Chains A and B, each alone.
Chain A
Amino acid sequence: NAGVTQTPKFQVLKTGQSMTLQCAQDMNHNSMYWYRQDPGMGLRLIYYSASEGTTDKGEVPNGYNVSRLNKREFSLRLESAAPSQTSVYFCASRLVSGELFFGEGSRLTVL
């Protein structure tokens, strides 16, 4: 099925460990985004990539890095995980009409 695929769906880390969240879309969209969802905070933009080869910071980029590997893939890396990064992470790509199409999310717990 066409869409946005995120892996892994669940992950538990210890403080200081690193990990990469993977995201791939098969809709040939140019722009891709990483958001995090926390209770009472809505979805907050971490990083985005307007097109292949470009990335830029969003509202809450500290502690994260991203790579736009190609047009399909946009990964989010936590170099040294902290408990404050416990969250649900959503990757999205942008339709021409303007709305974002989201993946199913990756639930990360940092102990």
Chain B
Amino acid sequence: DQQVKQNSPSLSVQEGRISILNCDYTNSMFDYFLWYKKYPAEGPTFLISISSIKDKNEDGRFTVFLNKSAKHLSLHIVPSQPGDSAVYFCAASDAGGTSYGKLTFGQGTILTVHP
């Protein structure tokens, strides 16, 4: 039972354009959502997060949108740069429960930004 799903295995975007990565979840207890970025042979690094009390969080070129009714979140990268090429993981947790910070991850989306 995949509670967090990233249905697009890959995304290809031209430099300077917008990249939109999508994520769906099924567990209504999730109330904290994160995006991680991973380069080959490195560990995942935290990018941006959003609490369920918000519907948008912005940090520089990165914006995360949360639609609780649809159980959907998205990551927008504007403008996209070649250095953004990486695997992006969506993650969720029940921060207010007894999950002890456990994160449930999606399968990942490979983003390629072409110069």
Query: Residues on A close to B: CB < 8 A?
Result: 4, 31, 33, 35, 40-45, 48, 50, 56, 58-59, 90, 92, 94, 98-105
Contacts and interface: CB of A to CB of B under 8 A. Distances in A.
Nearest to A100: B103
Contacts of A31: 100-101
Nearest to A94: B101
Q: How large is the interface on B (under 10, 10 to 19, 20 to 34, 35 or more residues)?
A: 20 to 34
Prevailing SS type, chain A contact patch: strand
Given A48-B100, A105-B42, A43 B95 contact: no
A98 B101 contact: yes
Interface of B: 4, 6, 9, 32, 34, 41-46, 49, 89, 91, 93, 95, 100-108
A35 B41 CA distance: 15
What 10 A-B pairs are tightest by C-beta distance, nearest first?
A102-B43, A50-B100, A42-B105, A43-B105, A94-B101, A42-B107, A99-B46, A104-B43, A102-B44, A31-B101
A33 B4 CA distance: 19
Contacts of B95: 98
A58 B102 contact: yes
B106 A100 contact: no
Contacts of B106: 42
